[in-house]
Amino acid sequence: MHWNGYTNEEKTIVWRRLNLLLCQVVDNYFVVADADRLAAELDFQNLRYQPQLSPQGWVPELLKAAGSKMIPYDHFGLRALPPSDGLTPRQLYDQISAECHALSQAHYDRSYARPVTLVAELTEHAAREKGLI
């Protein structure tokens, strides 16, 4: 990806799409009960987060920084949901990343890859019908 070559409008579109994916996945594992507290604690811990994202989009950075060390999620304004039970922050980070990647890939396949394949199949079918191949 050539991020620096993107226009501000294109960057906004990418951030918006990423935010939607992160919200969809993170909401399965956490409720952001206090976004202000989450932001304050991330700042206090000197953890970088993207202000373009919603608070759900900040959660993976917290999980990544915590690694295998268990943390009191309520201290960060988060309420853990049952799917996160028994998983270390790093395991949750890896799970969330994998799910976001899978959703992103499915969106790409549905929106871009499959239509190209379909056009190729239709073109080949038409060529066969006309006896061109």
d(Cα 72, Cα 38) in Å, to the nearest integer? Answer: 12
Vertex 102: Cα angle to 97 and 104 (nearest 5): 95
> What are the strands, taking DSSP E only, across the chain?
30-32, 78-80
pLDDT digits (tens, 9 = 90+) for 17-76: 999 999 999 999 999 999 999 999 999 999 999 988 999 999 999 999 999 999 999 999
The per-residue pLDDT for 113 is: 65
